Amino acid sequence: MKNFQDEKQRDLLINKSDGTNKFLTTDQGVRINDDNNSLKAGERGPSLLEDFILREKITHFDHERIPERIVHARGSGAHGFFEVTNPIPELTKAGFLQEAGLKTPVFARFSTVAGSRGSTDLARDVRGFAVKFYTQEGIYDLVGNNIPVFFIQDASKFPDLIHAVKPEPHNEMPQAASAHDTFWDFISLMPESMHMIMWAMSDRAIPRSYRMMEGFGVHTFRLINEAGNSTFVKFHWKPKLGTHAVAWDEAQKISGKNPDFHREDLWEAIEMGNFPEWELGVQIIPEEDEHKYEFDLLDPTKLVPEELIPVTIVGRMVLNKNPDNFFAETEQIAFHPGHVVPGIDFSNDPLLQGRLFSYTDTQLSRLGSPNFHEIPINRSVAPVHNNQRDGHMRQEINKGRVSYHPNSLGGGCPYQAKIAEGGFASFNERVDAHKVRERSESFADHFGQAKLFFNSQTDVEKSHIVKALRFELGKVDTAAIRVRMLGLLSQIDMQLAERVSMGIGTQVPPILETPINHGVSPENEMGNQEPKTVESSVENSDALSMLKNPTNTPTIASRKVAIICSDGVSEASVKNMKDALLKEDAKGLVIAPHLGAVLTDEDGAIAADFSFLTASSVLFDAVYIPHGLGLTALAENDDVMEFLNDAYKHCKVIGANGEATAVLSAAPFASKISNDDAGLVLSGEIGTETFIQDFINAMSEHRFWEREKNLYK
């Protein structure tokens, strides 16, 4: 191969480009005037198909990776059913919501967003929450997240968001992490992201389990009834087990100990018969109330506070069967927010409008064929008859000579269905507006709901947000990015900004920086508007706090307890605890210095499930040290002390009785133990029923986060 004299000549040959001091253009070289807004019929109208800039950008983005998903690559799923508990025929004609007790098969997939298929389950990230309903009227996909809002307002910015959060292209680092310069550079220039950032920096981004997180449709949709009347709707999934998280230090350790933690948790719960369950709720907003609130229903960075519109439960989802083959089902399932049935329709949310194009395009790239709907996991249970033909990997064998409509040779079949016969018809919304690349002024509030979210958290939850921001921004090398972020945080809460500031060694700027201040063209960078704050009509919303929303019925179902044992352990203590846990659908697992048999005080033996080498407290929900004459020697075992120290630091329940209480006295945290720590269940007596019940009751509280006040004085 020819040797080139200089780097510039070689770069020209291989088409290197960094875009420095260059205009933004399409792939055809056409300069772009507005890269932030899709072309719409009016500032609040639907996006237009003729927007070649949006289509080119998203098409290229959708085809950037094969074969794994570009986003939501790391996921896990299960089969189940959806059952109607409160029919809503007055609101929608959707058949699967018409009759109490009616069950519809579903497949649900949960996922992280940023990481690749091989990344860890416990990354700080948004979680996907997608459900495919196999209804009698066709496939309906409710494709959302575990957070009710999103980073951006317009689909045009989605490729930019994901490019920013993915590993940096020059070195492919870091994997499945937002704690790096390019992500926070983007966020610091996009004030519309600040509400989502509050959620992403909260404990919602590190759930204890897929089974213990909420789900949301994110966008505003429409319900259409038989009369053709429309109401706006927001969808909510409420977990039966409550909404719980892990500690950030714990999440990082779980990633090292068991990167499949969430995947394994979902699989094992179903195998054990502890079927995950959620209630499906709706927030209904009458058509005439579209402009009633201080936020815009079409803005995907906003939510509707439950204090304004309560959530009405309409049904429940139960996942009761694991996939038979991960690739064939979980990996090949193809979701699409555009898969709707009669009675459900779209709003003009500009992020949703872009998704309606993007998902089919993505499946064409990822699954390699327009026939992805014929893969078994994607097949409709309703009959499919149309004139689509051929294509790669076609499975349907169509008979006859006719493959067009209208026709006479085939008797006009397949024929169109009238609306009364179940034919889908879009809501008859009037659209009369100029073609523009603009956003409505009602989208300009970027801080009001971010402030509402932060103000609604408990002190513990606020502290976790501060620590998360310190961690994330502490990983950012560029000082100017940290300054801009502190400026944005100061618009939410000055004390929040100052607390974060102390942890990253950067001063809160006296004036909020705008794109004009750092050299970006002022014309369109902020979506044609300066960011502002609109005070929410709701000052605090308890629904936004996990800790303010305990489960209605306390439960420890499917929780795991580490039972620390060594030779001489009380056999009765272990047996009584394991039996009691089993009655609560929980599980006790024996951890010992070695695998094999652990000798008991009754000359018997108990099999160790794990050794301290193969287990860690981060993989369990609580720790129990039973009575035993030989257990005091565990106080000199460094692995045991580390095990207990992590459990205490992560605010878990620790129980000990009899001589085992002496083990805790030797633990590193012994001097920090508070007399009012309800997460420590101690008794000098040997495994009484009262002690066991106290231990189970404490476990049902999940964590004792107040312990952190003593730990970090």
Q: For the residues 329-344, what does the mean pLDDT come to?
A: 94
pLDDT at position 687: 67
pLDDT at position 529: 61
CA nearest neighbour of 332 among 287, 398, 378, 382: 378
Q: Domain 447-520+531-542: give its CATH code.
A: 1.20.1370.20
pLDDT at position 3: 43
pLDDT at position 713: 57
Question: E-strand spans in 533-579?
Answer: 560-564
* φ and ψ of 397, to 5 deg: -105, 100
More confident residue, 218 or 4: 218
Q: For the residues 283-303, what does the mean pLDDT come to?
A: 97
pLDDT, mean over the chain: 90
Q: Domain 40-378: give its CATH code.
A: 2.40.180.10
Percent of the chain residues past pLDDT 70, beyond the cut: 94
Say if residue 134's pLDDT is above 80: yes
pLDDT at position 34: 86
56-99 pLDDT, tens digit per residue, is 788 878 877 657 888 999 999 999 999 999 999 999 999 999 99
Question: Domain residue spans in the chain?
Answer: 40-378, 447-520+531-542, 560-711
Question: E-strand spans in 347-477?
Answer: 435-436
312-331 pLDDT, tens digit per residue, is 999 999 999 999 999 889 99
Q: Beta strand 587-592 with 610-611: parallel, antiparallel or unpaired?
A: parallel
pLDDT at position 712: 65
Q: Domain 560-711: give its CATH code.
A: 3.40.50.880
Say if residue 13's pLDDT is above 50: no
Percent of the chain residues past pLDDT 90, beyond the cut: 69
Q: For the residues 570-596, what does the mean pLDDT come to?
A: 95
Q: For the residues 36-51, what does the mean pLDDT come to?
A: 89
482-527 pLDDT, tens digit per residue, is 999 999 999 999 999 999 999 999 999 998 776 544 444 444 444 4
pLDDT at position 17: 57
pTM reported for the whole predicted model? 0.91
380-389 pLDDT, tens digit per residue, is 988 888 888 8
**pLDDT band for position 10 (cuts 50, 70, 90):** very low
Question: How far is residue 682's CA from residue 695's CA, in Å, rounded to a whole number?
Answer: 9
Helices (H), 475-622: 479-492, 494-504, 571-583
**pLDDT band for position 263 (cuts 50, 70, 90):** very high
Residue numbers annotated as active site: 72, 145
670-702 pLDDT, tens digit per residue, is 888 888 889 999 987 776 889 999 999 999 999
Question: How far is residue 248's CA from residue 321's CA, in Å, rounded to a whole number?
Answer: 31
